[in-house]
Amino acid sequence: MRAVVYEDVRTVGVHEVPDATLEAETDVLVRITSSALCGTDLHMYDGRTGASPGLVLGHEPLGVVEQVGSAVQTLRPGMRVVIPTHLFCGTCAMCSRGLSAACLRARAEGPGAAYGYAGMGPYRGAQADLLRVPWADANCVAVPGEPGDAYEDDFVLLADAFVTGWHAAATLAGVEPGDTVAVFGAGTIGLLSAYSALLRGARVVYCVDCVDARLDKAGEIGAVPIDFRRGDPVEQIRRDRARAGLPLGEEMLSGVDKVIDAVGFQARDREHPEQERPDQVVADAARLVNPTGAIGVAGVYPDRDLHPRPGATSHEDLVAPWGTLFGKGVAVRFGRTHDRRYTRLLRDLVVSGRARPGVIVTHHGSLTDAPELYRRFDRREDGVIKALLHP
Ligand SMILES: NC(=O)c1ccc[n+]([C@@H]2O[C@H](COP(=O)([O-])OP(=O)(O)OC[C@H]3O[C@@H](n4cnc5c(N)ncnc54)[C@H](O)[C@@H]3O)[C@@H](O)[C@H]2O)c1
Ligand SMILES: [Zn+2]
Ligand SMILES: [Zn+2]
């Protein structure tokens, strides 16, 4: 089969690799119809998070079941399925609590595993013709329709992007109806966090970034774009809140109730945008959040940055403004997405027409287009926000 393989820093290739096969009686093989590129793939592509040459990339698959192991009960060949990024056994102490991204059985070295992901277990990635799915009854979620139909782009985002956006809004930041919200980063995760916050009834959602196509997309989905090239985003948002007219007695609450970090450690330094400043977003979030508010951190902060950009720190001991956060009584939550918790709920919002996350998909290609799409996505050029490969 063909697969997208990490070769070296900023180089991927499309290689012939041995076919995925059934390895346990609880496995299925899925023929991939769509497989998305993700900001997390870029951390590996940029050599920042320790991918080894030969790694098959991809953790956002949608496809059709092709072969079924003898112990699989609920799936049969021909079923259309989406597969959550974090694979899990379904029965260990964490899975039985619904904490699938911390499964204790899927990876010997520690909690949680994922496809095509450095440090997250031996599982080959999904940017390929075929994918082996372990513990398939738990890991495959059936979706209606036919490959290539009008829902293809929506359903593939159920694997990671939409569930992560929802997790960031609902669980990490705890967005409630009527909240004011700011999302830092208008990549896929930021946009779908903003989209989820709006679905949950936020009264206003700001989206901060510096890339025109992404700011335009934020406006398109109903958020208020904030371009940090025009000045301090915290001041811009406070000004807009004041302009909107703060309710009587709430003049001191000119920030926002909930903030989402959808950028992570590769945040740009706003003073020197060509450089990185890994604590930039956390610093801005602490200034912007209202007293007793919450900050949800969906952006990745790895243990170690193996290849820091010029100006970035190489160590993980970032300084957080503890005094400000304590003084305001702000809750800060991190965490990988226990994706499987939300897959069915969000699928049903898509099927009922209440949610169309696929509006953020900008590019489509075949597997052979992967090297070029990675290159353009890495440079945030040609308006690439979310690219899908269709093997
Ligand atoms: N928690 C999870 O389970 C999970 C799942 C998927 C992705 N992620 C992580 O979420 C993050 C975002 O993913 P993505 O696919 O949207 O990535 P992306 O790289 O496409 O988007 C990040 C955006 O942040 C913007 N940005 C950079 N510095 C900024 C700053 N100082 N202020 C505001 N915006 C700034 C960039 O211009 C870019 O548009 C990544 O760290 C990714 O690894 C986490
Ligand atoms: Zn992803
Ligand atoms: Zn488990």
Sign, CA torsion 312/372/33/193: positive
Distance CA 211, CA 68 (A): 44
Residue whose CA is closest, atom 23 of ligand 1? Answer: 185
Distance 337 CA to ligand 3 centre (A): 14
Q: Work out the average pLDDT over 115-139.
A: 97
186 and 48 share one domain: no
Please name the residue that has the structure tokens 């800060």. Answer: 332
| 336, pLDDT greater than 90 | no
Give me the chain's average pLDDT, please: 95
- Residue pLDDT, tens place only, 20-79: 999 999 999 999 999 999 999 999 999 888 899 999 999 999 999 999 999 999 999 999
Distance CA 366, CA 368 (A): 5
Which of 300, 334, 377, when mutated, tests ligand 1's pocket best, judged by the most ligand atoms within 8 Å of its CB? 300
146 and 276 share one domain: no
| 161, pLDDT greater than 90 | yes
137 and 216 share one domain: no
145 and 208 share one domain: no
Please spell the DSSP secondary structure of 226-291, one letter per residue.
EEGGGS-HHHHHHHHHHHH-PPTT-TT--SEEEEEE-S-TTPBPSSSTTSB-TTHHHHHHHHHEEE
Q: Work out the average pLDDT over 220-245.
A: 96
Q: Work out the average pLDDT over 344-370.
A: 97
Per-residue confidence at 84, pLDDT binned at 50, 70, 90?
Answer: very high
Q: Work out the average pLDDT over 250-255.
A: 91
Which residues sit with their C-beta closer than 6 Å to ligand 1? 38-40, 42-43, 160, 164, 184-190, 208-211, 214, 228, 262-264, 267-268, 270, 280-281, 298-300, 336-337, 380
136 and 12 share one domain: yes
Q: CATH number of the domain that 223 lies in?
A: 3.40.50.720
Distance 7 CA to ligand 1 centre (A): 23
142 and 98 share one domain: yes
Distance 48 CA to ligand 2 centre (A): 16
**Atom number in ligand 1 closest to CA 298:** 1
| 93, pLDDT greater than 90 | yes
Please spell the DSSP secondary structure of 68-104, one letter per residue.
E-TT--S--TT-EEE--SEE--SSSTTGGGT-GGG-S
Per-residue confidence at 244, pLDDT binned at 50, 70, 90?
Answer: confident
CB contact at 8 A, 174 and 161: no
Q: CATH number of the domain that 124 lies in?
A: 3.90.180.10
86 and 228 share one domain: no
**∠ CA 315-317-321 to the nearest 5 degrees?**
135
Residue whose CA is closest, atom 13 of ligand 1? Answer: 39
| 89, pLDDT greater than 90 | yes
Q: Which ligand is nearest to the CA of 298?
A: 1
Q: Which ligand is nearest to the CA of 127?
A: 2
Q: Which ligand is nearest to the CA of 266?
A: 1
**Atom number in ligand 1 closest to CA 335:** 1
Domain end: 334, 354, 373, which one?
334
What residues make up the domain containing 181? 164-334
Per-residue pLDDT at 301: 87
| 316, pLDDT greater than 90 | no
Per-residue confidence at 111, pLDDT binned at 50, 70, 90?
Answer: very high
Residue whose CA is closest, atom 14 of ligand 1? Answer: 39
- Percent of the chain at pLDDT > 90 equals 87
| 317, pLDDT greater than 70 | no
**Atom number in ligand 1 closest to CA 184:** 33
39 and 176 share one domain: no
183 and 284 share one domain: yes
| 319, pLDDT greater than 90 | no
Per-residue confidence at 312, pLDDT binned at 50, 70, 90?
Answer: low
Distance 109 CA to ligand 3 centre (A): 13
Name the nearest CA neighbour of 316 among 297, 301, 296. Answer: 301
How many domains are contained in the chain? 2
* Ranges 36-50, 169-183, 298-312, 318-332: which has the least confidence: 298-312
325 and 178 share one domain: yes
Distance CA 325, CA 330 (A): 5
Per-residue pLDDT at 120: 94
Residue whose CA is closest, atom 40 of ligand 1? Answer: 299
129 and 238 share one domain: no
Distance 84 CA to ligand 2 centre (A): 10
180 and 308 share one domain: yes
- Residue pLDDT, tens place only, 191-212: 999 999 999 999 999 999 999 9
Q: Work out the average pLDDT over 356-370.
A: 98
Per-residue pLDDT at 335: 84
